[in-house]
A and B are shown apart, each in its own frame.
Chain A
């Protein structure tokens, strides 16, 4: 069905078309960007089970431009369309037109990645999706070195991914394998191929000790883009582990489960304790991401069915709450001109809506029962324990306690306490900003109460 192709092409084409608008345009590009993102959301729902494919290579191995969602990637793609729509709607940066165009291209390339049913297409979009973020960091970031650091780390991952893909294709004969249940690769080369994939995925997630590109990137990107990057781009690696690692090379995920689990557990605790002492609000969330993604890696490493179902819920939940957190912190930074926890305080009195939005997002992040994050954590850990791993469960519970401490600290240092005199308090969320965050917060509540569609895999 051609609609599937349109889902990938439309945002990229729309992004290119937006450059045709006047250079200083804000409203039209913002509106058009939001509309395109919403349209991709609708198209995704319409094309849930559809596929589109055309032959690409027949030698040295078969490859095809093959698109279509898998049960897991469908939810991530929906999340992506939702986050993009919400983030674009309230974009307020310099050169809005160019920024919105980049956001749409980011959406399109990431949709290409998540809809890819062919490893080579997956590898292609893996590298393409770095480009908009790179230009986002160059054009709107705080320090150009950050852009290079982001690009080089992730491109190194892209390189091993490409090598592994090529090797896979040569040995297996075809790369048109994502979403197929029967394509398993074994043999002498298979562990090396798995290593190539795993390195790329671990860099992208990121997982300790490959995470050092992440805090400056998340701190430097403008908040609309970082909300999409942290919500969805970080899931590319985790999706890779599920759709490629576990599906195509399951023997090796199982064989090397212990090192993976150790890395996940280290990330979990490491991210949590570092988040505890950060004074930059965005960095608190960045390090908390490291911690949360460590939990998903633990779920993947356990290989347990329940844990994986939980991992999907948690992927979506983390996407929703990290997008909401970064957006709200972005609004806050636009108003106050700083995001330092040491300089801000007592904003809750004058900004009840801002405080409420931050509160719900932070509570979901710390795993409050009744919200989406809790469902993911609970089901993951039920599965991990059932798979016979006890120590990662205990580590994760310690992480949950620390998470409550740093998230409450984030919220309280910004919103509670006496008002700080040297920072202007400039008004609550506008109705448009409220409308942009509301879908994310509503989804957190809905998934928290009724996660059934996500669990039905």
Chain B
């Protein structure tokens, strides 16, 4: 039985996800963008675990661990990129990093 109804988890996850989305679109600081992405990951994690518990299936929890590892890897690569772009100008704005335009 669940103390908190499933709907609450879903609502919280949706709110967290949209905060993350808006953060990625609006903010120009890559560190904050990275944090926003983490927020979206965690929204997904929350849903995985909530549904796993609701339907008594462990695969959701396993996926949550996978997502955490991917998030860690992604954060490592993302931070490395940020550091390299930060280094020459002591200042980062993602709108200035557009050398890969078509």
Q: Do chains A and B touch in the complex (CB under 8 A)?
A: no
